[in-house]
Amino acid sequence: MFFGELPIHHCTECYLAHSIKHPGLTYKKGYLLDDDDITRLEQAGVTHLTVARLEDEDVHEDMAATVFAGSAQGANTTCGEAFTGRVNIYAECSGMLVLDEEAILSANMVDPAITLATLPSFTAVTKGRMIGTAKIIPFAAHRHHLQAACDAVKNSLKIAPYENKRVAVISSSLPHLKPGTIAKTLKALEERLAPSGSVVGTHIEVPHQKETLRKQLQDLRNAPVDCYIIFGASAIVDIHDVIPAALVEAGGRIEHFGMPVDPGNLLLLGMLDGRPVIGAPGCARSPQENGFDWVLNRVLANLPVTAGQIKAMGVGGLLKEIYSRPQPREKQPANDAASKPPAAVILAAGKSRRTGEHNKLLAQVQGVPIIRQVALSAIESHADPVHVVAGEQIDAIKRALQGLPVTVVSNPNAERGLSTSLAVGLSSLPADTNCAVIMLGDMPEIAASHINDLIEGYEPQSGRLIGVASSNGKRGNPVVWDGRFFEELKTLKGDIGGRPLLEKYQEAVYTVEMGRAARLDLDDPSALEAFGAKTGAYSLKKHV
């Protein structure tokens, strides 16, 4: 293939290397020029062009990509139309992507002009998902190189289709296991099974005891199920632990224990009467991807899972850090979140611009300033300590809170927005604070019981890390934040709270319904009056 600059009268039957735009004249890169095009370009004053001209042994990029992708296409895959030297390959059904990685590597080694990119092997895919793309980089591929690449890559992309399976689930329990944990675990599993059309055919709850588990496995041997999954109340920590011991005594065998995938290390794989048995790791309770998914999806697609294959999962087995994973990678301090109460931060540094000459936080309901009512709710809750962030009216806020066991901290940059008060409040907390309830100073209907409900929903080991008050399904305030988010919250700018992080970490969010209290808006005089709040000399900003 020739590539370079030519006088325009030599460019007929050549492909444009770069797009051209002139008034009333547009040609895109890769366009095949004919005599009429040359005439128009000459009239526009173009004298030279950078072009590609194919030779006898060249195959045009679109044709080459079509042939190459077609060679790579294997069972249950399909190819799209060629465009600009590219052909995408798609899954024709849901299942697991199975690659001949050596074949793909060999094909990519033939000629830099001929390339194939794919998803990682054993990626779980749904019907219609793109699994690979064949791309011819220049405008053509040499015929002999194309043939060699096609020979190397033949049938290297396949989809192992899922089968509809009936899964028997055994959930063991211990006194410390919260009642809702098993239900949440079952819901997460059902969501994992949905793409394959598989279902939980049987679900049984039993005490976490070897004999009970053994008997249950034996009782299920004649049930119409295709595989077993055991969610233990206690993680499997040894090959002789309760779950593997029960499997062996029930007549099954252990294929492998442990896997080099994190999260997912404590996984057990066994067999019972020719049916797979998965002893799920604790992280399988989370809907986020972990090693359990890697094994389960292969089972659902009838792909073999051997000890050697599990060991090979270590390369690429360090999954991304996810805040909702049940067992955080970092070592937890001795006084962890479970044993230390959360702090409370009340944001009270706003200027109350819409209430005119009055500070809404100092308006009184039955003689009690609104900010004092909010602080009293925080004090009466399980939160401790309670910090209040104030701005230029800090002296008046302190007077309103006089006698209460709260710490009032100053935000000298309050005019820069709510985010600055959030940062000041979090920075003022003790260094060992693991969790904080962020409250707004103008929400007097939030009671101690509301705050406690939010705190009770906080379960760091189950991935419930951000608790949001809601009203009829709409998010409001207060919000509970796990300490691992503090530093990121401090980086926010402008007159915003933590909304950007709520969107970013949706998997870590849980909500608690509180009715009107969660979205009460007292931002103008009419709202204050309707609520029964009185303003007076005590709330005037000029006296502050």
Distance CA 394, CA 441 (A): 13
Among 432, 416, 443, CA closest to 424: 416
Q: Does the predicted TM-score (pTM) go above 0.75?
A: no
Among 305, 275, 280, 301, CA closest to 170: 280
Cα→Cα distances 280→259, 269, 290, 462, Å: 11, 9, 11, 15
Distance CA 528, CA 537 (A): 16
So what's the pLDDT on residue 335? 43
Cα→Cα distances 518→21, 45, 179, 514, Å: 57, 69, 27, 6
Q: Using an 8 Å Cβ cutoff, are 446 and 378 in contact?
A: no
- Those residues with Cβ within 8 angstroms of residue 260's Cβ, 6 or more apart along the chain or in another chain: 310, 311, 313, 314, 317
Cα→Cα distances 201→164, 183, 215, 228, Å: 11, 15, 18, 10
pLDDT per residue as tens, the chain (544 positions): 899 999 999 999 999 999 998 888 899 988 999 999 999 999 999 999 999 999 999 999 999 999 999 999 999 999 999 999 999 999 999 999 999 999 999 999 999 999 999 999 999 999 999 999 999 999 999 999 999 999 999 999 999 999 999 999 999 999 888 778 899 899 999 999 999 999 999 999 999 999 999 999 999 999 999 999 999 999 999 999 999 999 999 999 999 999 999 999 999 999 999 999 999 999 899 888 899 999 999 999 999 999 999 999 999 999 866 555 544 455 554 444 446 899 999 999 987 776 777 888 888 888 899 999 999 999 999 999 999 999 988 999 999 999 999 999 999 999 898 999 999 999 999 999 999 999 999 999 999 999 999 999 998 877 789 999 999 889 999 999 999 999 999 999 888 888 889 888 887 899 999 999 999 878 778 888 888 888 777 877 764 4
Neighbour count for residue 375 (Cβ, 10 Å): 25
So what's the pLDDT on residue 95? 97
Whole-number CA gyration radius for the chain: 32
Neighbour count for residue 176 (Cβ, 10 Å): 8
